Chains A and B, each alone.
Chain A
Amino acid sequence: MVRLVLFLMIGVCCQVCVTPPALGADALTALKRFSDFSTIDITRLLEGEILSQRGSLMNFPNGISSQFCFATPTSPAETARRLRKWDPTGCTSLKVYVSRRLSNPCELREFSNLSLYLDPGHRPIKRFFDQTMATSAGKSGPNLTRSEARDLAGCVGKDADPKTLGACWARLLFARASDFQRTGFAGTLPYESGETTVNPSSQIRSMLQEQVRITREFAPLLKRAGLVSDGEGVSPLRPDCFWSLFEADHRATLNLGAMYELNVGDRRQLLSIEYYVSGTYYASATLYEIWPFRYGGRTGSLIWRGDLFAAPQLRFTKGIERIASGAIMIQEIKKEVRCFQESLAYP
């Protein structure tokens, strides 16, 4: 109820300030053109409902996808701004321990507080500790290159102290983040911990290649982010970079990510990439397209969101288990979207 009142209040305020176009054929036609949503019930979205579609099976065996559609009472510019600066740690159900934006170029000290969150008494952290301690030059539980595994093993030694472990991981993350900021996706280091070498950027590209309609819709953004190959000659976008420590499948996981934004007429497009993940999965890409709407006296943003995840276990997850994985992924992402919607009630 509180949410609804705030929604209405913000909606009224926004209407006074700007007069965006009515939600007409343009936004809905565009949405239907590239998304899996054949019908959109705007009244359901205004009531706070998050529409979702599980993606079809991919040729790429590690990939899974889903799509969402939801509304916010804020303008596209404000919605995009809030998405970029959103701190998920405020929402406990998401189990994000820490999330920090990085300067460009980043500095080692920006990772220095990692050790504060490494409490080995907490089981998901303990599993992360165990994985790290078991890493040697020839064997790595986390997603690392052989060289990183050797360096990490040498750095941690036999000392399972959170401070040491945090400092070692901070150095590793700093090196990867710096490489990414210098060279973009071309410089993403591979994971050599499994039987086969995996490059997270290639994983994302493989998934995007199969989403032909989505890739076409987001072509300018993807080109300027450097994710698609024919992006030569376009001015690159400068991303917001971040790192996080969070729980994935009940184990603590570190990631490095980047978020890109592009204005396309009255729309906004955003791309959030996890170009490094320490475990459980390889990489992810989240795309947003945001349109302004005016409907029944309300204004705000209509948002389409597409998620692509690459995970090693998906190769072996088939049949009903695969469908269930997709359905559960949708529920988990809906939690995140709800948290974001709720965060808009606060300045």
Chain B
Amino acid sequence: MTDVCTIIKGIHVTKGFYPPFLLALLVVGLAMPVGVSGADSMAVSQELDVTLGYAGRATTLQDHRHTDALSELNTGVTYVVSTQINKDLLLRIGAEWQRFSFWTPRDAATPDSLQQGNAILGFDYQLADQWLMRAEVRPGLYGDFSRINWRSFDAPLTLGFAYLVDADLQWFFGLRVDVRSQIPVFPAVGVRWRFTDAWTINLQLPEPRLEYDVNDTLQAYLGAGILAGTYVVGDHFGDDRGLPQLNHATVDYTEVRLGPGVSWKALPNLTLEAQAGYTLYRTWDYFDQHIKLSSHPAPFLHIACHARF
């Protein structure tokens, strides 16, 4: 667990948490039961996910015209406490911070950074013998954080349903609702199917994978990753770039990457991951203003740490 804390601390020092995230973290901390034991301790679970990714330099295009080149660093920390309310209902409270940093010329229409600092409020519920559901709302600030105001506030909602056929086959149905996005309602269907003793096809968004169990603790996979979000840029974002129509514009950011990776269960409750490959698709879509930027493919490296305790 020390490693996890060190990683978090490292991000804290180098990137800096924003006040909403700290506030949300404080709320989560206060919500956590203290001094519990036995079934009570089993009734409370904590999830910590830390991710760090780098995408190499790639040419960006605006309306098919070359504008410049940029590279990207993305970081994320998600912490959720889940408390069992009754046999079938779990309450989820947490906080999340995610940041995309783009090293780009000052006058480019791509933002220097896109960030989100949000709370996580939701629940898990067993609807029936084979049906589980998760509802989660993530209220918080989504923007370039050049200046924080009410326009940055958003609260996307995620609804997910799992149908458990047996130990080897599960179906997933999901819905993401974000009224500020160009696609306000985004449905998805997924499946996890262990079709042989070693191979599993795990088509769950946002990280569909074909997995191979090397041994009890090591898994190799070929996987895609989708990073997406809707953000609001600053009041003078457009002025600085000679595109005043982009002042406080809404941008849909989408990134799709593909590559092989490995997942190592270092401890029963700690998994470390590393993935490399190509970011195949990246767009910054100011859909209100009909300005869309995209980038050529670029190599990426991604590491992650998932702890459950």
Identify the A interface with B (CB < 8 A): 52, 54, 56-59, 61, 123-124, 127, 130, 249-250, 312-313, 315-316, 318-324, 327-328, 330-332, 335
Contacts and interface: CB of A to CB of B under 8 A. Distances in A.
Given A319-B90, A320-B82, A327-B132, A57 B39 contact: yes
Contact of A319 (B82, B162, B194): B82
Contacts of B268: 312-313, 315-316
Nearest to B268: A316
A52 B129 CA distance: 8
Interface in B27-64: 37-39, 41-45, 47
Interface string B115-154: 0000000001010011010100000000000000000000
B38 A59 contact: yes
B308 A316 contact: yes
Given A250-B194, A316-B308, A328-B167, A61 B134 contact: no
B228 interface: no
28 contacts: A52-B129, A54-B87, A54-B126, A59-B37, A61-B42, A123-B197, A123-B198, A127-B216, A250-B194, A250-B197, A312-B268, A318-B82, A319-B47, A319-B84, A319-B90, A319-B308, A320-B134, A323-B90, A323-B124, A323-B126, A324-B132, A327-B129, A328-B166, A328-B167, A331-B167, A332-B166, A332-B167, A335-B166
B269 interface: yes
Nearest to A320: B124
Given A59-B39, A319-B82, A330 B90 contact: no
Interface residues of B, number: 36
Contacts of A250: 194, 197, 213
Contacts of A332: 166-167
B218 to A, nearest CB: 13
Contacts, number: 82
Contacts of B37: 59
B201 to A, nearest CB: 15
Interface of B: 37-39, 41-45, 47, 82, 84, 87-88, 90, 124, 126, 129-130, 132, 134, 162, 164-167, 194, 196-198, 213, 215-216, 268-269, 308-309
Nearest to A122: B197
Contacts of A321: 45, 308
A58 B197 CA distance: 31
A260 B269 CA distance: 37
A22 to B, nearest CB: 29
B166 A331 contact: yes
Contacts of B162: 324
B42 A322 contact: yes
Nearest to A36: B87
A328 B45 contact: no
Nearest to A52: B129
Contacts of A130: 215
B90 A320 contact: yes
Closest 3 CB pairs of A and B: A318-B45, A59-B38, A319-B45
Given A327-B129, A328-B164, A328-B167, A318 B308 contact: yes
Given A320-B124, A327-B164, A331-B130, A56 B87 contact: yes
A142 to B, nearest CB: 12
Contacts of B90: 319-320, 323
Given A57-B87, A123-B196, A319-B45, 15 more contacts: A57-B39, A57-B42, A58-B39, A61-B42, A130-B215, A249-B167, A250-B213, A315-B268, A316-B269, A316-B309, A318-B82, A318-B308, A319-B124, A323-B132, A328-B167
Contacts of B126: 54, 323, 327
A59 B90 CA distance: 17
A326 to B, nearest CB: 9
Nearest to B213: A250
